[in-house]
Chains A and B, each alone.
Chain A
Amino acid sequence: MRFLGRRAVFYLIALFVAITINFMIPRLMSGDPVQMMFARFQGRMDPASVESLYKTFGFVDGPITEQYASYLANLLQGNLGTSIAWFPAPVSQVLGVGLAWTIRLLGVATLISFSLGMFLGIRAAWKRGRFVDAFVVPITGLFGAFPYFWLAMIMLYVFALKLDWFPLGHAASLDINQDWTNPQYVLSVIYHMILPATTIILTAVGGWLLGMRNSMINVLSADYVALAQAKGLSDRRVKYAYAARNAMLPSITGFAMSLGFIVGGAIVTEVVFSYPGIGYTLLTAINARDYPLMQGCFLLITMAVLGANFLADAAYVVLDPRVRS
């Protein structure tokens, strides 16, 4: 517990640093969205409208310390400002929508690829040179080596455009009632998820598999596994409680980290499949010079990565008794 407490303090400090940098960056860049609009109007905008635009977007005047204080105060209230691209929606609302879709898509895909990778990795190491080891390992490795956008476009071209098995994009059909109590809507969401999720799983599973396989092969040669077998334990007990349990420890860190990166969204996936997640939102924000939204995205991603790291530490405490003391 003291270990987790120390980690928590560390992550809070890291978060504070990230928040501060997030505050600084836009202020170091020249120009702001209002000046860009001003430029676009080629001088036909009077100073009063410029002034009112600044007010509307919530820009604060005054020395930098004052700005910083009001920035922090707003953050604590969950107020991330107003989006410019989605004006007048507040940034938090735009992020909320994108985040929900991203977590659904990437959460499911990551969970499946991790579990599948662990399971196949255990199999491959346990029966070395047999089917899983000899065929599944190189094939998933091959998929993992494809450039992701290329695989995504091929999938989209073949299964959506040519064969017409799956929709071309978006998270759900637009012509049905968007309501989670509507089973048709839920089915539509799942249906829209299959192609992007499969693409992510295909590219990700190889890495998990290979990592687990190698770690498991190492552990299988450990004396305690030999002793477990000699003791007459069932293969199942040796495989899971003695070998896999230890071999999984490095993968757990990787998994928790990847949970953090989920929130960053798979920009390429979401763009290729026009999926309305955080990655897609971030790209839109950049194109529109929507600083408040960009800041919001960065903040969210930072918090997710830190949170996931903390989760990894907590998982380690549960799984590895050596960390506890």
Chain B
Amino acid sequence: MTRQPAPESNLVLPPLAEGEPLLSVRNLSVVYHTKRGEVKAVQDVSFDLMQGEVLGLAGESGCGKTTVANAVLRLLRYPAEIAGGQVLFHGLDITTLSEDQLRDFRWKHMSIVFQSAMNALNPVLTVGNQIADAILAHTDMTKEQARARSVELLEIVGIDPARITSYPHQLSGGMRQRVVIAVAMALNPQLIVLDEPTTALDVVVQKQIMDEIRRLKESYNFSILFISHDLSLMVEFSDRVGIMYAGQLIEMARSQDIFRGPRHPYTQRLMDSFPTVSGPRSQLRGIPGSPPDLVTPPGGCRFHPRCDVALDGLCQQVVPVFTEYGPNHWAACHLLDAKDEVPNG
């Protein structure tokens, strides 16, 4: 009835070649099976994440960024399904792993911090047990050793180790998120996916947590795939940023380039809808309309129905190609082909 704990599947990762990305997502597509038809939540998304890099994925709610995060760890469950593409980690295609291999692979090499710290911890187990659980599932450590390691992890994320016997409800939101980070770091993975790690927290705690993550990243040298809808936080925190719209990656560049010179009209509108802390006061503008229905996404560029600079005929019919328009600056927009100048948002 229940499956035995995974036998050591001895998954060996090939070493990274010079310049080879740690994580390489190739033409990833994810669909959700619904009664109305297939929701094409993620379509043809490709990106590379280098070792030691912080890569951000941003976009509106429902643009598929969390789905990408879950697909990368193969956490999707029915009705969601990877419909195509590859997720290469050290060159190993994760989408082909068996359940047992996956169970062994996950957390040891790649882990995730979920959106809501409030709900990511089991209310009836102590935080110590929840950290130790992850360790015991992957190593030969005894319970005492796992406990010692849990204490160490709590110290690392800045929580009083005496809290090891606390239950989640006895901790504040920020402390809970630190515990969740400790759980994610339990096996020293090379890549940690942060899925909106600070959404449920207030701004002050958010800042503390992000600083903490940055510090931990420097000390423990893991890479980060950072998912957020908060563009200003993302630009500050990431080395490179990818912008998603309606399940597709529409722009990707170094974060200062995205910040200073966004190329895609959607990215420009998105930047306009966030206030800047420094810099000149400007009128905040939203983006008229709402994201398209992904059962029947619009043809051509998916953004054209909301785009005020769409080119008649072209944008409705032809899917723009993701092209490099500047050094390390990729975007998918016909306007960028039409004229060299950045369209004025």
Give the interface of A toward B (CB within 8 A).
123, 222-224, 226-237, 239, 241-242, 245-246, 319-322, 325
Give the interface of B toward A (CB within 8 A).
1-6, 73, 75, 103-104, 106-108, 111-112, 114-116, 119-126, 133-134, 137-138, 167, 169-170, 180, 183, 186
- Are B133 and A246 in touch, CB under 8 angstroms? no
- Are B2 and A232 in touch, CB under 8 angstroms? no
The complex places the Cα of A223 from the Cα of B103 at a distance, in Å, of 17
- Are A321 and B123 in touch, CB under 8 angstroms? yes
Do A231 and B137 contact each other (CB < 8 Å), given the known contacts A223-B116, A224-B119, A236-B3? yes
Could you name 6 residue pairs across A and B whose Cβ atoms are closer than 8 Å? A123-B1, A224-B121, A227-B121, A231-B107, A232-B138, A234-B3
Which chain B residue shows the least CB distance to A128? B78
- Are A230 and B73 in touch, CB under 8 angstroms? yes
| Majority SS at the chain B contact face | loop
The complex places the Cα of A231 from the Cα of B5 at a distance, in Å, of 12
How far apart are B302's CB and chain A's nearest CB, in angstroms?
Answer: 29
The complex places the Cα of A226 from the Cα of B122 at a distance, in Å, of 10
- Are B75 and A320 in touch, CB under 8 angstroms? no
Residues of A within 8 A of B108 (CB): 232
Residues of B within 8 A of A228 (CB): 122, 133
The complex places the Cα of A246 from the Cα of B125 at a distance, in Å, of 10
- Are A235 and B123 in touch, CB under 8 angstroms? no
- Are B124 and A245 in touch, CB under 8 angstroms? yes
Residues of B within 8 A of A320 (CB): 123-124
- Are A319 and B3 in touch, CB under 8 angstroms? no
Do A224 and B107 contact each other (CB < 8 Å), given the known contacts A233-B133, A237-B133, A325-B170? no
Do A319 and B124 contact each other (CB < 8 Å), given the known contacts A230-B106, A232-B106? yes
Residues of B within 8 A of A230 (CB): 73, 75, 106-107, 111-112
The complex places the Cα of A241 from the Cα of B1 at a distance, in Å, of 16
- Are A223 and B115 in touch, CB under 8 angstroms? yes
How far apart are A284's CB and chain B's nearest CB, in angstroms?
Answer: 46
How far apart are A315's CB and chain B's nearest CB, in angstroms?
Answer: 13
- Are B124 and A234 in touch, CB under 8 angstroms? no
Which chain A residue shows the least CB distance to B122? A224
Residues of A within 8 A of B138 (CB): 232
Residues of B within 8 A of A229 (CB): 75
Residues of B within 8 A of A232 (CB): 6, 103-104, 106-108, 134, 137-138
How far apart are A114's CB and chain B's nearest CB, in angstroms?
Answer: 19
The 6 closest A-B pairs by CB, nearest first: A236-B2, A321-B167, A234-B5, A223-B119, A231-B134, A232-B137
The complex places the Cα of A230 from the Cα of B120 at a distance, in Å, of 11
How far apart are A221's CB and chain B's nearest CB, in angstroms?
Answer: 9
- Are A227 and B125 in touch, CB under 8 angstroms? no
Q: Which of B106, B121, B125 has the most CB of A within 10 A?
A: B125
Residues of A within 8 A of B111 (CB): 230-231
Residues of B within 8 A of A245 (CB): 122, 124
How far apart are B79's CB and chain A's nearest CB, in angstroms?
Answer: 12
The complex places the Cα of A234 from the Cα of B138 at a distance, in Å, of 10
The complex places the Cα of A245 from the Cα of B167 at a distance, in Å, of 15
How far apart are A123's CB and chain B's nearest CB, in angstroms?
Answer: 8
How far apart are B258's CB and chain A's nearest CB, in angstroms?
Answer: 30
- Are A222 and B134 in touch, CB under 8 angstroms? no
With beta carbons under 8 angstroms apart, the residue of B6, B114, B134 that contacts A223 is B114
